[in-house]
Chain A
Amino acid sequence: MAVNVDARGLSCPQPVILTRKALQEAGGGEVVVLIDSMTQVYNCTRAAEKLGWQATYEEQIEAFALTLRK
């Protein structure tokens, strides 16, 4: 699994800023974001959906992998 953004350990609103930047640069396709709290899962999902991406997440050890597709 390719990881495009590792935002583990970053506090608000860094994960969202990095995710938005990655999505805007990619323009489409698949982007994987690593985060470490449900707060960030919700925040990044909301930010991605606003940009027209679809999000799914998967719980890992001490992290969540958020897969964003467009």
Chain B
Amino acid sequence: MKKVRDFFASRTGIIVVGLVLGGLAVTLQRLGNPPNMGVCVACFTRDIAGALGLHRVAAVQYLRPEIPAFCLGAFVAALAFREFRPRTGSAPVVRFVLGMFAMLGALIFLGCPWRALLRLAGGDWNAILGIAGLAVGVGVGVQFLKAGFNLGRSYPTRMLAGLTMPLVMAVLLGLAIYYPNAAPKPAAAAGQATAPAPTPAALFLSKEGPGSKHAPVLYSIGAGLVIGFLAQRTRFCTVGGIRDVILMRDFHLLSGVVAFAAAAFGMNLLWGQFHAGFANQPIAHTTHWLNFAGMALAGLAFTLAGGCPGRQVFLSGEGDGDAAVFVLGMLAGAAVAHNFLTVGNSVNAAYAVVIGLVVVAVIGMLGREKLSVAR
């Protein structure tokens, strides 16, 4: 067990896992997930928000099984390696707000850091602006960290609190299996001009657009569980990768991130999924400054919260109640993004980015509290 544990903690371990994660993401695209989206945590959380009716944009509603599977895969890994620790109390409501604005920023760019890499690996050069923005956002976040920003300590809590998020995710997974497809629209009966409205299902499910594109549900679940398990073991984290390089020239996490992008690039080439350029990229826009600024906002918020969205989902599976609240904040952020029309409308998006940057910067400044070394 110790050997396995040390392998995952090693440089080789994180590179191998990065390769597997990137490969699985692109494989899911080939099996039906939207192009250059693979396993985008922001997009998929947005689709889940849509499936639950928290926003009503018909094109992006699907209960993506990957997200709950990530959480449950990490949960299994944490149990197997005796790392499941129910804990909470590190400013959960602040993390909720950070999750919300991180999501807003990510959706303005149209992707989480993982998708930024997958877009790059698919030849979408708009991702370069997003990744540059992300790096700047993380860089600013590191300055806040150096100035003493922290969200305080978490404390061990009851088993119930640690199990809540995995249980919620298990219910979502159950719903995803039970309602895999949108209900077909009933045909118009004889003598009726228009078909009656379809019977409402428990979930809102896209019939067209990105939300309607998905791999078969069992493949999504399988890949999600594997990714969750491996990422929990290696602490794979894109934001952490950039942060550690800026903070202390540590390339450990970043080597996994680079491996992720490299595997995705290689498999895209292999399957003819690589199309280079700025224009006509799938689920993307070419407003460069918004791609940059949206991701800068996301990068700053993720850094203050301690990790990229994927990592937050994995932590919630390990019993981290604060990460769970961050994930719920992302779900709320998806609803805000679409209900306030901040995605796809550059004027509203500009307001959202500016407000987001101000709010997150204020959090960064007010959180600069000197931590006593002994508690």
Chain A interface residues toward B at CB < 8 A: 3-6, 8-14, 16-18, 20, 22, 36-39, 42-43, 46-47, 50, 62
Contact = CB atoms under 8 A, between A and B. Distances in A.
Contacts of A46: 250, 252
B87 A9 contact: yes
B307 A10 contact: no
14 contacts: A9-B89, A10-B90, A10-B150, A11-B154, A11-B306, A12-B307, A13-B145, A13-B243, A16-B247, A20-B248, A36-B85, A37-B85, A38-B5, A42-B9
Nearest to A14: B150
Interface string B153-164: 111100000000
B58 interface: no
Interface in B136-170: 145-146, 150-151, 153-156
Interface residues of B, number: 33
Interface of B: 5, 9, 81, 83, 85, 87, 89-90, 145-146, 150-151, 153-156, 235, 237, 240, 243-244, 247-250, 252, 306-307, 322, 371, 373-375
Contacts of A42: 9, 235
A12 B306 contact: yes
A38 B150 contact: no
B306 A4 contact: no
Contact of B373 (A6, A38, A39, A47): A6
Contact of A11 (B90, B155, B156, B373): B90
Residue of A9, A18, A39 with most partner-chain B CB within 10 A: A9
Contacts of A43: 235
A5 B235 CA distance: 23
